[in-house]
């Protein structure tokens, strides 16, 4: 009997300590989004997450683009494979990576009448995530990135809260209202465009006070956009606004457009630069 018990303990320990990294698709309770009681998100957990219940982690928030889903970073971006490879090579430390859902019900990352998504993100989503997944919860240990509308939101979130983030990485960021043919038949397209325009980070940086500029200089900024992307011009305007205010940034551009052929390889750069090693 003793031998059986010891064998069971050994097998149980082996199963725990051979735990692989994983991406989980989850639900969390929600009170701040009108008509929503449960909200989806995805989370990447490194392979050592279950080994030490006292260990705390840096957290990277990855925001998706318009009409997309929280699962896209894993499905099309290769999130697990890229994070696993960078951690295994020692290029980055283990981290938790979280992909919130911003498309369902109303596709917008910002506050609007009857849809307070930015309030939800900062006052409900982040506290829930950082408590559940043992995140460190400091500016130095928290970063945000996104593509397209999510890239614009990552810029805006850090403009609004520079004291909360280490790094902001905008990938093909959609920053303000321009005419887009594919929104012609979208009944909420104009509503969404106007809210995006009201949160234009180019204008916000240009009009920022000296105190806000000092805070923005304390963030590591990355701007990444393909040379054939329709958002290229607005991203150059964002760079110019930063230059005018003495805000340091890093700029990346390769041949490419507004699609996963460009975004997929950029995810390596996002994860590598989320935190200084």
For the segment 197-223, what is each residue's pLDDT rounded down to a tens digit? 999 999 999 999 999 999 999 999 999
- Count other C-beta atoms under 10 Å from residue 210's C-beta: 7
Span 32-79, pLDDT tens digits: 999 999 999 999 999 999 998 999 999 999 999 998 999 999 999 999
Please report the domains of the chain, with CATH numbers, ordered by start residue. Answer: 19-273 (3.40.50.1820)
How far from the centroid of its chain's Cα atoms is residue 131's Cα? 18
Query: Between the ranges 13-22, 100-109, 160-169, where is the mean pLDDT highest?
Result: 160-169
Match 């889903």 to its residue by tokens: 69
Span 72-124, pLDDT tens digits: 999 999 999 999 999 999 999 999 999 999 999 888 999 999 999 999 999 99
Q: Are strands 95-100 and 38-45 parallel, antiparallel or unpaired?
A: antiparallel
Give the C-alpha separation, 114 to 188, whole Å.
14
pLDDT of residue 179: 84
Q: Is the pTM of this model over 0.75?
A: yes
pLDDT of residue 32: 96
Give the C-alpha separation, 102 to 62, whole Å.
11
């Amino acid at each position: 009997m003793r031998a059986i018990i010891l064998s069971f303990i050994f097998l149980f320990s082996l199963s725990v300590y051979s735990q692989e990294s994983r991406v989980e698709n989850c639900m969390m309770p929600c009170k701040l989004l009108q008509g929503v009681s449960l909200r989806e998100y995805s989370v990447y957990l490194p392979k050592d997450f279950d080994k030490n219940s006292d260990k705390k982690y840096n957290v990277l928030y990855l925001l998706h683009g318009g009409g997309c889903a929280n699962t896209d970073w894993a499905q099309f971006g290769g999130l697990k494979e890229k994070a696993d490879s960078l951690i295994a090579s020692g290029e980055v430390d283990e981290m938790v990576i979280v992909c919130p859902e911003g498309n369902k019900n109303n596709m917008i990352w910002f506050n609007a009448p009857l849809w307070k998504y930015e309030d939800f993100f900062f006052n409900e989503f982040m506290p829930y995530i950082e408590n559940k997944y043992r995140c460190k919860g400091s500016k130095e240990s928290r970063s945000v990135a996104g593509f397209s509308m999510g890239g614009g939101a990552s810029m805006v979130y850090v403009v609004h809260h520079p004291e909360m983030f280490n790094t902001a990485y905008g990938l093909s960021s959609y920053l303000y209202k321009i005419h887009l043919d594919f929104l012609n038949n979208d009944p909420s397209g104009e509503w969404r465009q106007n809210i995006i325009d009201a949160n234009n980070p180019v204008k916000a940086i240009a009009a920022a006070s000296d105190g806000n500029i000092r805070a923005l200089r304390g963030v590591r900024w990355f701007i990444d956009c393909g040379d054939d992307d329709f958002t290229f011009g607005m991203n150059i305007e964002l760079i110019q606004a930063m230059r005018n205010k003495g805000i340091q940034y890093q700029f990346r551009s390769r041949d490419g457009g507004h699609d996963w052929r460009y975004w997929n390889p950029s995810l390596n750069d996002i994860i590598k630069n989320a935190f200084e090693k």
